[in-house]
Amino acid sequence: MTATITRRRVHKISDKKDFDKYDLYRRSVQSPDTDVCFLRKVYRDLKKKDPRIFREDFCGTFALSCEWVRLSPKFQAIGVDLDPEPLEYGRSHNLSKLSEKQQQRIQLFEGNVLAEKLASADISVAMNFSYFIFQNRKIMKEYFLNVLRSVKKDGIFVIDIFGGSLCHDENEEKASHRKFTYYWQQENFDPVTNRAKFHIHYRLHGQAKKERVFSYDWRMWTIPELREILEEVGFKRTHVYWEGTTRKGEGDGVFTRTEKGEACQAWIAYIVAEK
Ligand SMILES: C[S@@+](CC[C@H](N)C(=O)[O-])C[C@H]1O[C@@H](n2cnc3c(N)ncnc32)[C@H](O)[C@@H]1O
């Protein structure tokens, strides 16, 4: 199976000519509407009831939180990020599109997911591999422990992860959208530390390519390493949701619980930890 690292969605393209990096990011790498449905389904499958409170760590423009409160008038969302810039963008571009009642069910915290006493939630998530920023076991353990303390008694913690042989090499993939091209570049990979640098570039059609609009210095974690740390800090059980394959051998976007993966050049999976 060759799943692409990018979860592409087709969104309505606005006619705006300005370079809006958060808008491009959302169109090229996020699919918050389908993500929240998947997360709700995972919780229901494991807990046989509906979740209510959702916490999005590393929330950036908190697109998932906005979709979460759209799902039900009972649902509440909490976003945590240390950078005021994406939070402000989210307030003016995402929050503003919600009804007043939906807006009232979102709380935002500008702070560090390591330092803060995190708000209590039924589902807590760290998406788009943001937690790869933590480069050693000690810090990852601190973060997972902080999450465990915050998750409700019946709560779950969900993270996504990517890997595959492509991630052990320098490479660049691109995807054409109606008004722009998205580039995902892996600059390097160090097998001694498992660290890798990645960049997102964009080219609006008819304009010059803008390099390094977003850059990441990440450790490439593995599924077993993360499951071990999650269980070590006290999560009762962990599960892996692996993506199915189309006839062409590509990822089909359907993730199911399994204890057996498949070697491929690029894959995405979810790890779900139960308190
Ligand atoms: C790649 S963006 C992720 C945005 C969004 N979660 C998504 O799904 O695409 C990573 C975000 O993590 C935030 N961040 C990095 N370290 C953090 C920390 N220790 N605590 C809180 N936020 C952090 C950054 O400010 C940035 O907005």
Cβ of 59 less than 6 Å from ligand 1: yes
Confidence of residue 16 (pLDDT cuts 50, 70, 90): very low
Q: Is the pLDDT assigned to residue 13 strictly greater than 60? A: no
Cβ of 112 less than 6 Å from ligand 1: yes
Q: Which whole number is the average pLDDT over 234-262?
A: 94
Distance from the alpha carbon of residue 64 to the mean position of ligand 1, in angstroms: 13
pLDDT attached to residue 112 = 97
Distance from the alpha carbon of residue 106 to the mean position of ligand 1, in angstroms: 17
Share of the chain above pLDDT 90, in %: 89
Cβ of 83 less than 6 Å from ligand 1: yes
Task: Please write the tens of the pLDDT for every residue from 185-208.
Answer: 999 999 999 999 999 999 999 999
pLDDT attached to residue 175 = 96
Distance from the alpha carbon of residue 186 to the mean position of ligand 1, in angstroms: 19
Share of the chain above pLDDT 70, in %: 94
For residue 60, which atom of ligand 1 is closest to its CA?
Answer: 27
For residue 116, which atom of ligand 1 is closest to its CA?
Answer: 20
pLDDT attached to residue 135 = 97
Confidence of residue 7 (pLDDT cuts 50, 70, 90): very low
Residue to mutate, 81, 113, 150, ligand 1, most ligand atoms under 8 Å from C-beta: 81
Q: Which whole number is the average pLDDT over 73-94?
A: 98
Confidence of residue 14 (pLDDT cuts 50, 70, 90): very low
Distance from the alpha carbon of residue 271 to the mean position of ligand 1, in angstroms: 18
Q: 54, 77 in Cβ contact below 8 A?
A: yes
Task: Please write the tens of the pLDDT for every residue from 141-156.
Answer: 999 999 999 999 999 9
For residue 25, which atom of ligand 1 is closest to its CA?
Answer: 9
Q: Is the pLDDT assigned to residue 43 strictly greater than 90? A: yes
Confidence of residue 17 (pLDDT cuts 50, 70, 90): low
pLDDT attached to residue 12 = 44
Q: Which whole number is the average pLDDT over 262-267?
A: 91
Q: Which domains does the chain have, with CATH numbers?
A: 30-163+222-274 (3.40.50.150)
Q: Which whole number is the average pLDDT over 217-237?
A: 98
For residue 129, which atom of ligand 1 is closest to its CA?
Answer: 1
pLDDT attached to residue 116 = 75
Task: Please tell me the pTM assigned to this model.
Answer: 0.93
For residue 113, which atom of ligand 1 is closest to its CA?
Answer: 20
* Mean pLDDT of the residues in the chain: 93
Cβ of 30 less than 6 Å from ligand 1: yes
